Amino acid sequence: MIAKDSVKSRLDRPDVGISFTEFSYMLLQAYDFLHLYQAHGCTMQLGGSDQWGNITMGAELVRKVAGGSAFGVTSPLLVKSDGTKFGKSESGAMYLDPEMTSPFAMHQFFLNTEDSLVIHLLKSFTFLSHDEINELEVATNERAHERLAQRTLANEVVAYVHSPEVAQAAEQAGRALFSEAIRDLDEATLIQVMADAPSSTISRQAIMDGKPLLDLLVECGLATSRGESRRFIDQGGVYLNNLKAERETVDLSDVLHDRYVVLRRGRRQTHLVVLA
């Protein structure tokens, strides 16, 4: 291992060095390959291109200890637009288990793919034909605002990982986020849709008594004063469950699933009010 140029060059530089964790990682992965070879007859290891050194060390260990032949196959590393890889050690990792990454969150992740990356991901993650992807590339170049490629990518991935029905539900939930259809979402989906929005708790009694909307906007941080709240409402920029606010109070008729109220100021500033 120390003979490898990538390791030797770092050990020779006192200003860089190498951590014990990183140093031992290669050894442990190599031993894993040896154990799999001896216990299960495993002769091939697959991995991303960043694992090449670890894989070849395992093959070398198999040759020296067991006198056998082992092989490695690597594929180009898939990276996001910021250059970081798709992986569990990176932020924003996507898990196939719906308990760890909900279908809605997965759909939104791919829906937000940048134009510069979306065609590459369509080629990597879907089974669309070459002609279909070429058409989506033309659409992205000519009508990027439609985000047709991103919507196709999100639907195809979620449909493949979960099911077409789940993909359709995730797409509908995304559309409901800024439409009146938010009232039609089941409670679990509503919570998923609002997962990234700030939230606050208010007493149920306050809502039963009729909570002044001017005060609620201030308490939720959507306005700095009652006067500013009034100005936002008069300008038509305040929404209650995605309906333009036209009343002065919030009451139980506005509560979703007997517990939630969705406030929005402008197009993107949302807030989830939870009754306690």
Question: Which residue spans of the chain are classified as CATH 1.10.240.10?
Answer: 103-176
Residue 20, H or E segment: helix 20-40
Q: Any idea of the CA torsion for 14, 17, 19, 22, to the nearest 10 degrees?
A: -170
CB hemisphere CA count around 8 (13 angstroms): 5
Residue 49 near residue 77 (C-beta atoms within 8 A): yes
The fold adopted by the segment(s) 199-275 is 3.10.290
| 270 token code pair | 């949302």
Tokens linked to 255: 């509560």
Query: What CA–CA distance (Å, rounded) separates 217 from 265?
Result: 9
pTM above 0.85, yes or no: no
Q: Which pLDDT score is estimated for 90?
A: 60
Dihedrals phi, psi of 78, to nearest 5 degrees: -90, 120
Residues in the chain: 276
At 79, the amino acid letter reads V
pLDDT value at residue 230: 94
Q: For the chain, first and last CA: distance in Å? A: 59
* CATH architecture entry for 103-176: Orthogonal Bundle (1.10)
Of 252, 228, 181, whose CA–CA distance to 238 is shortest?
228
* Residue 141, CA distances (Å) to 16, 120, 154, 270 in order: 43, 14, 18, 31
Q: How many helices (H) and strands (E) does the chain have?
A: 12, 9
Cβ pair 155, 118 in contact under 8 A: no
pLDDT of residue 254: 95
pLDDT in tens, the chain (276 residues): 676 776 777 777 777 777 888 878 889 999 999 999 999 999 999 998 889 989 999 999 999 999 999 999 999 888 877 777 776 666 567 889 998 888 988 998 899 899 999 999 999 999 999 999 999 999 999 999 999 999 999 999 999 999 999 999 899 888 887 788 898 888 988 988 888 789 999 999 999 999 999 999 999 999 999 999 999 999 999 999 999 998 889 999 999 999 999 999 998 789 999 999
CATH 3.10.290.10 range(s) for the chain read 199-275
DSSP-assigned beta bridge partners for residue 275 = 202
